[in-house]
Amino acid sequence: MSQVATKPDSIGELPPFDYKPAPYVGPSKEEVLALRKEHLSPAMLYHFKNPVMITHGKMQYLFDERGRRYLDAFAGIVTVSVGHCHPEVNKAVIEQTERLQHTTVIYLNNQIAEYAKELTDRMPGNLKARRGGKGGRDLGRFLVAYFVNSGSEANDMAIMMARLYTGQYDMIALRNGYHGLTGATMGLMGLHTWKANIPHGFGVHHALNPDPYRGVFGNDGPAYARDVTDIIQSSTPGRVAGFISETIQGVGGAVPLADGYLPEVYKTVREAGGICIADEVQTGFGRTGSNYWGFQNAGVTPDIVTMAKGIGNGLPLGAVVTTPEIAATLAQRLHFNTYGGNPVCSAGGRAVLRVIDQEGIQAKAADVGGHLLKGLRGLAAKHDVIGDVRGLGLMTGMELVKDRATKEPAKEETAYVFERCKDLGVLLGKGGLHGNVFRIKPPMCITKPDVDFLVAALDQALSEL
């Protein structure tokens, strides 16, 4: 693969932005790299061959130690929802920090209580009143939240709730899915690249991935759903604890689930006594544009919703939202999370909700996301190495292949474009089982001129292959 020498500024400049970071006065990049190598775990990987040192962030941009500005097209791994150092979120965090940094839920505090109401109020009404409890009892028109520190913790808790509530053990997850790296959630994982050689996955069955691009049944959701029926009939006692899935697979490469899949699977799982868990860690809070929650795009109503990442705009925050009856299973024994619902994190989470509403973030994700998909599809018409462009709103992916017929992953080409775009000023994400998918999921304050710059950088890098 040849590389054409091109000046980093050949695609023009990033859109004007009225912010200049204060001069960085800390240790040099080389010193930081040496400290990291000596004192941090080698498991902490670098995003680029030549790592970028980030010292400042503002809205959709990041700045290195020299003050160079980059367009952040990965949002801290799909975590910065409303913008780096958003003034409203910063203000809430600073004000709460000056009053009270930490108590646990053994004391009353207004932040966690008000946050729980504001968060659950944003769940669709059909989830609040969708189904009765055991024996058909009416659960009322409200939901409850349990706050944790991450998506891994949220999913771990969700599968425990499912098992306690149903009295069953078997869980069904999807191949190519990602739900975290705790002992329990690693078992749900459908990607070998993230699995350690330790005991895990007890009682977990992995169904065929309903991948419209690479799946054996194309975009035929009901055909994939029959595999779940077969798993229940052949690999479980006929009753299951539950089913968990992302509505667009994130780490797996921005893969949407085939049309009609989730409604069929939810019906099958419930007939087998199980409950349905929607992992909204990456797709929630308006990122798909068309709806506030990803599961709404599939026309389903889950029993448990897990969330993290964008919920806190970078704060360590996650939540499990479900019905009071399912949540009550945790009260069978003492259960506690030291930092879950911390006043500072709760104040920041509340500010995120306000910003999403006040700034029309969901509508922006739809509008700018549509512009992004149009630009990426224009690149696909120009560059044969692009096998697929997919996603919804600002949850998008672009997969590179050596041949569109065989769909052989273009790993080296992806690696080159990934590094080249960084040099041009765009920080992308990368994922998929073969590492050949660009995960383009920026802060949702990104603008159309930003998108045009991103597409131009991709075009330049792809043209150099």
- How many other C-beta atoms are found inside a 10 Å radius of the C-beta of residue 274? 26
pLDDT at 340 > cutoff 80: yes
**Average pLDDT, integer, range 380-391:** 98
- Which tens digits make up the pLDDT trace of 4-26? 334 445 788 999 999 999 999 99
- pLDDT value of position 141: 59
Instruction: Taking residues 287-314, report their average pLDDT.
Output: 97
pLDDT at 246: 98
Count Cβ atoms within 10 A of the Cβ of residue 81 and give its class: 0-12 exposed, 13-18 middle, 19 or more buried: buried
- With b for 16 or more beta-carbon neighbours within 10 A and e for fewer, the 5-29 pattern comes to eeeeeebeebeeeeeebeebeeeeb
Per-residue confidence at 218, pLDDT binned at 50, 70, 90?
A: very high
Q: Is the pLDDT of residue 366 over 70?
A: yes
Task: Indicate the range of 139-148, 233-242, 435-444 predicted with least confidence.
Answer: 139-148
| pLDDT at residue 54 in the model | 97
- Residue 67 tokens read as 């003050």
**Average pLDDT over every residue of 436-457:** 98
Give residue 81's identity as a one-letter amino acid code: S
pLDDT digits (tens, 9 = 90+) for 83-114: 999 999 999 999 999 999 999 999 999 999 99
Q: Report pLDDT for 8.
A: 47
pLDDT of res. 126: 74
**pLDDT value of residue 125:** 80
Per-residue pLDDT tens over the stretch 165-181: 999 999 999 999 999 99
Amino acid at 438: F
pLDDT (mean) for 330-344: 93
Q: Other C-beta atoms within 10 Å of 332: how many? A: 8
In the DSSP assignment, the letter for residue 179 is -
Structure confidence by residue, pLDDT tens digits, 121-130: 999 987 775 4
d(CA 313, CA 122): 17
Kindly report the pTM of this predicted structure.
0.94
Average pLDDT over residues 381-388: 98
In the chain, where the domains are located: 29-72+361-463, 91-358
Mean pLDDT to the nearest integer, 196-200: 92
How far, in whole angstroms, is CA 327 from its chain's centroid? 24
pLDDT score for 129: 56
- pLDDT band at 316; cut points 50, 70, 90: very high
CATH code matching the domain that covers 29-72+361-463, chosen among 3.30.70.2190, 3.40.50.300, 3.90.1150.10, 3.40.50.2300: 3.90.1150.10
Distances from the Cα of 49 to the Cαs of 70, 170, 392, 423, 424, in angstroms?
A: 17, 41, 30, 12, 15
Average pLDDT over residues 343-355: 98
Using the predicted structure, report yes or no on whether residue 137 has a pLDDT greater than 50: no
Across the range 27-40, mean pLDDT stands at 95
Mean pLDDT computed over 338-354: 97
Mean pLDDT of the chain, nearest integer: 94
- The crossing angle, in degrees rounded to 10, of helices 343-358 and 110-120 is 40
- Find tokens 């992916």 and name the residue: 397
Q: Is the pLDDT of residue 131 over 60?
A: no
Indicate if the pLDDT at residue 197 is higher than 50: yes
Average pLDDT over residues 21-41: 96
pLDDT the model gives residue 2: 36
pLDDT exceeds cutoff 90 at 351: yes
Report, as an integer, the average pLDDT of 252-257: 98
Does 3.40.640.10 match the CATH number of domain 91-358?
yes
Whether the pLDDT of residue 367 is over 70: the answer is yes
DSSP state, 135? G
Q: How far apart are the first and last CA of the chain?
A: 6
